[in-house]
Amino acid sequence: MFVTHADNPVVRCVGAVVHDAAGRLLLIRRATEPGRGQWSLPGGRVEPGESDTAAVARELREETGLDVRVGALVGSVRRGPYLIFDYAADAVGGDLLAGDDASEAAWVTSAEFTRLDEGNMLVAQLAETLAEWRVLPRA
């Protein structure tokens, strides 16, 4: 955690935008607040002394069972006290299995993503943000 110039605590977090070879997007269903029960990108808090790259790899392994190669920064968002940096990543190993803060993990097609969005099952502003970043599911 670090403190902004306004003395408002900010929690640095990371997330991953992962597509499979078919163009599906990796999402997790949050098991804890904020957003419990909603679908989001996998990710979480950066631990003290940890790089963003290491945090992305650790969080993906904990939440999805997948090993990833972390790529470039896709974008960042502020959600309350959380400042989230989302990185592109490629799955390079492991088996998809929800764990840690995720109750489910799934590869989601464009049609499935749209249904989740229309059913208000995505965390706030996820669809709009991913559309702006041009990283929606392609399958």
Q: Return the CATH number at 33.
A: 3.90.79.10
pTM of the model: 0.91
Which structural domain, as residue segments, surrounds residue 39? 11-133
The total domain count for the chain is: 1
For residues 34 and 53, which has the higher predicted lDDT (pLDDT)? Answer: 53
| Helical (H) or strand (E) element with 37 | none
d(CA 6, CA 61): 34
Q: Which pair of tokens denotes residue 126?
A: 């996820």
Name the pLDDT band for 112 (thresholds 50, 70, 90).
very high
Above 50 in pLDDT, residue 60? yes
Q: What CA–CA distances, in Å, run from 27 to 38, 51, 113, 126, 136?
A: 10, 22, 9, 11, 11
Indicate the DSSP class of residue 48. T
Residue 72 forms part of a structural domain? yes
> Which residues are designated catalytic?
104
**Alpha helix locations (H) across 24-103?**
52-64
Length reported for the chain: 139
